[in-house]
């Protein structure tokens, strides 16, 4: 993928990643632009780009639903543990 310095203004996450060398969360449409390419050329310099697909949940809705169900079950379980702790504690205090 060939870009110029002026083109990098459209992709602030890629620009920051190239300038600092640190990973960035994708905030532009860089995922759609890159596709399967991993090497970006900016004014004759080559950079290897690794994209973390943090939007994988959007790509696979069944995992989103499973995660949502598990988080609800975990929240209910935590509420049950809290209730049990408070109920048993009050039995010891009142005894």
pLDDT digits (tens, 9 = 90+) for 23-74: 676 666 666 667 666 777 888 888 777 666 544 444 556 666 778 889 999 9
Tokens for 71, please give them: 């988080």
What is the model's pLDDT at position 90?
A: 66
What is the model's pLDDT at position 89?
A: 72
What is the model's pLDDT at position 51?
A: 63
Q: Which residue has the tokens 């205090």?
A: 93
More confident of the two residues 19 and 35: 19
Are the C-beta atoms of 15 and 8 separated by less than 8 Å? yes
d(CA 48, CA 42): 11
pLDDT digits (tens, 9 = 90+) for 76-92: 999 999 999 888 776 66
DSSP run (H or E) holding 63: helix 61-94
DSSP run (H or E) holding 48: strand 45-48
């Amino acid at each position: 993928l060939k870009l110029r310095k002026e083109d990098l203004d459209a992709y602030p996450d890629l620009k920051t990643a190239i300038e600092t060398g640190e990973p960035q969360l994708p905030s532009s449409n860089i995922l759609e632009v890159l596709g399967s390419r991993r090497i970006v050329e900016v004014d004759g310099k080559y950079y290897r780009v690794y994209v973390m697909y943090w939007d994988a949940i959007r790509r696979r809705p069944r995992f989103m639903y499973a995660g949502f169900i598990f988080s609800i079950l975990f929240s209910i379980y935590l509420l049950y543990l809290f209730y049990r702790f408070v109920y048993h504690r009050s039995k010891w205090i009142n005894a």
